[in-house]
Chains A and B, each alone.
Chain A
């Protein structure tokens, strides 16, 4: 498995790019829920794809997972997963329950995930001079086999998994979800090159 192996400056640069992307994604979330969202600094870590799939499937139906593919220029592509633990998807359902429309909770979780994913990645891409298009978001059963089957259907290898831990405090509620970006090696090298270019400008 390839690794990012970022030095301190590169890590700081990636963290700041992610903070900016997260800020705008949260703004969209706040508008969607019509509430104020208290933001924390998102933590980012690199995880092994294998161990991640094992964790996700540690017990059957342990989580809701919404998956969406993204495609940019210069080999920047991958699959973004939003992972909700049962208590968090229940809280989300409570929050969304105040929405007067007739969408099911599943449809709303898909909608919300897609808003977070596409806003995050659009802003992320813009900062690294790229532009994304997306596949339709899909809700996967949160079992190990469903997630690994879905990943196995993709046409490229998952060389890197970047986990962005997101914690939102929404008025009386707090809910957590993980955004996991699966990225192939070509994209990793491209991201590193762009980070180095940004750093050289300073």
Chain B
């Protein structure tokens, strides 16, 4: 039984970077969202186990997604992957319920360690 995965980033390259870094069983059926709004709509209509979430995005940013999911009690495991590495931002996303903060560009070992720590590998 596999886990369902959603990758949300406005950059095509960043989405591919995440997909490429994931083990096959997680990347095979992963779905993609180009901004926070798309992600929230997908998360309302289907259940996802894991959300990889960028922060700096047009339309609805990553913090907006975290807030919306919290209010609507939608609870995938959220891994934030962002270039905004300020400690205050890292604390903020953890407070809003993210499992972990990973800095861009995402490193395959770091990603896998985090997935293991949270029981997805």
Contacts from A to B (Cβ < 8 Å): 9, 12-13, 15-16, 19-20, 22-24, 26-27, 30, 36-37, 39-41, 127, 198-199, 202
Contacts and interface: CB of A to CB of B under 8 A. Distances in A.
Given A36-B86, A37-B86, A39-B84, A12 B56 contact: no
Interface stretch (B13-21, B45-53, B67-75, B112-120): B13-21
A30 B89 CA distance: 11
Given A36-B88, A41-B56, A202-B20, A23 B83 contact: yes
A43 to B, nearest CB: 11
A15 B83 CA distance: 12
B37 interface: no
Interface string B15-38: 011001000000000000000000
B30 to A, nearest CB: 15
Interface of B: 10-14, 16-17, 20, 56-58, 82-86, 88-89, 104-105
A12 B13 contact: yes
A13 B84 CA distance: 17
Nearest to B16: A202
Contact of A41 (B14, B58, B88): B58
A120 to B, nearest CB: 12
Q: From DSSP, what is the main secondary structure of chain A's interface residues?
A: helix
Given A15-B11, A202-B16, A24 B85 contact: yes
Residue with the highest number of chain A CB atoms closer than 10 Å, among B10, B12, B20, B84:
B84
28 contacts: A12-B11, A12-B13, A13-B13, A15-B11, A19-B11, A20-B83, A20-B104, A20-B105, A22-B83, A23-B56, A23-B82, A23-B83, A23-B104, A24-B83, A26-B84, A26-B86, A27-B84, A30-B86, A30-B88, A36-B86, A36-B89, A37-B86, A39-B84, A41-B58, A127-B105, A199-B13, A202-B13, A202-B16
Query: By CB atoms of chain A within 10 A, which of B57, B86, B89 has the most?
Result: B86
A27 B86 contact: yes
Nearest to A18: B83
Nearest to B11: A16
B108 to A, nearest CB: 13
Nearest to A42: B56
B5 to A, nearest CB: 18
Contacts of B14: 16
Given A23-B104, A41-B58, A202-B20, A16 B13 contact: yes
A37 B83 CA distance: 13
Contacts of B13: 9, 12-13, 16, 198-199, 202
Contacts of A24: 83, 85
A42 B17 CA distance: 20
